[in-house]
Amino acid sequence: MSLPLALDLTDRLVVMVGGGPVTGRRLHAFVAEGARVRVVAPWVCEDVAEVLARDPVLVEWVRRDYTGPDDLDGAWLVHTAAGDGAVDTAVREDSAALRLWCIDATDASATAARVLARTEVETPDGVVTVAVHAGGDPRLAAGVRDGIDLALRSGVIDLRRRRPRTTGWVALVGGGPGSDGLLTTRGHELLASADVVVVDRLAPRGVVSRLPESVRVIDVGKTPHHHPVPQDRINAILVEEAQRGHGVVRLKGGDPYVLGRGGEERLECEAHGIPVEVVPGVTSAVAVPAAAGIPVTHRGVAKSFTMVTGHEQVPSLPTGSDHTLVLLMGVSLLRETALALVSQGRSVDCPVAIIERGFLPDQRVTIGTLEDIADLADSCGVQSPAVIVVGDVVRLAHPV
Ligand code: SAH
């Protein structure tokens, strides 16, 4: 029989008898919970020594064997892992006499308190902890915990706050280049915590379609030359929704800070005192070339790359074909860009690849040279979104 309870150990004394690795592991956990700890042991392992060195105020070391109930003075909780059955028994009995909860790490069934297998996920509204007790089988408990941990990370467990908040929060989440599998686990956790999701055209749509109906999805997707929701308005939506007490995920394509205006969105939220978390994403600048088999650097072929927007006149760039250029938003000005690169000194033979809709079912790759790529793109009707790669690394592309 046992009733799982949560203990707030902040500033409460825990006495730990023994200085071995089990003490070390639990010591980390107790200190992380804000406890004060007295370690009673003639010697300590490296792990314990490290915590003692780091937290000399919170953690005290009584450097000798356990001598009796006086060592437990002031304790709220006792933990014994002395490596000596007689000592553990004495600690258990002394604790019981003092009506102190005691955990015997070597024999969980010998004491009335035990540590459960647990996992936690940090939502912007606080930490959610799941603890598992499986009778007298700690390994079963750990296995169940691992399964729950996986579910928590994948976002299948709803983490949305049920109690109203005074202020909401915003998370700018990089969704990767559009395929569901390239969203980070942190991104999934935050989507499972959000009430409102503000989504871009190039964000992973499959993930959005699986959100529960209770989540409000605001689509601010832009297409080139057609900006249905201007950036100012997007910023205002994030602020207004958070001010209404909602948890808001701004799900963006690729990485929020790569040509994604994530910096502006963050600053706007911060200017209104709204907490913001920024979660990096897999940027299309590197990932979309990879979808076509093109590494942006490759030993002996290219050791550096530059990413630029192809939306404006290209700046002056290194001209060797061993330096890779990656152009985002470069379809409409492709002809001008190719000419500019040649006039800067790039060879007309320099290989070029255009990868449209990378990682999506209708991905298409077109390969040419600076001389002919614009004509090729015209004849096959290349369209945005596409990443354009210029340089010798294009020769490594998967056969088209
Ligand atoms: N923040 C994003 C980039 C936004 S700019 C990122 O880090 O990836 C938008 C440009 O990204 C598009 O015009 C296109 O050049 C590129 N892009 C994004 N997703 C793409 C995809 N799946 N396939 C091809 N290009 C993509």
pTM: 0.91
Beta bridge partners of 389: 326, 353
Q: CB of 259 closer than 6 A to ligand 1?
A: yes
Q: Which fold has domain 13-115?
A: Rossmann fold (3.40.50)
Atom of ligand 1 at shortest range from CA of 262: 1
Atom of ligand 1 at shortest range from CA of 388: 15
C-alpha neighbours within 13 Å on the C-beta side of residue 268: 20
First-residue to last-residue Cα distance in the chain: 65
Nearest residue to 159 via CA among 204, 205, 119: 119
Ligand 1 mean position to 185 CA, how many Å? 21
Nearest residue to 365 via CA among 340, 397, 326: 397
Q: How far is CA 259 from CA 276, 283, 310, in A?
A: 19, 10, 11
Domain 169-282 class, CATH top level: alpha beta
Two structure tokens written together for 369: 């040279």
Ligand 1 mean position to 224 CA, how many Å? 12
Pocket test residue of 202, 266, 333, 384 for ligand 1, highest count of atoms within 8 A of CB: 202
Two structure tokens written together for 376: 């090729």
Residues 380, 369: Cα–Cα separation, whole Å: 15
Average pLDDT, the chain: 95
Q: Which fold has domain 286-396?
A: 3.30.950
Two structure tokens written together for 400: 């088209």
Describe the strand order of the beta sheet including 216-219 as a list of residue ranges. 216-219, 196-199, 247-252, 169-174, 276-279
Residues 346, 292: Cα–Cα separation, whole Å: 23
- Contact of 265 with 235, CB cutoff 8 Å: yes
Residues 179, 357: Cα–Cα separation, whole Å: 10
Residue 400: per-residue pLDDT:
82
DSSP state of 223: B
For every one of its 400 residues, what pLDDT tens digit does the chain have, with 9 covering 90 and above?
Answer: 789 999 999 999 999 999 999 999 999 999 999 999 999 999 999 999 999 999 999 999 999 999 999 999 999 999 999 999 999 999 999 999 999 999 999 887 888 899 999 999 999 999 999 999 998 888 999 999 999 999 999 999 999 999 999 889 999 999 999 999 999 999 999 999 999 999 999 999 999 999 999 999 999 986 666 667 999 999 999 999 999 999 999 999 999 999 999 999 999 999 999 999 999 999 999 999 999 999 999 999 999 999 999 988 889 999 998 999 999 999 999 999 999 999 999 999 999 999 999 999 999 999 999 999 999 999 999 999 999 999 999 999 999 8
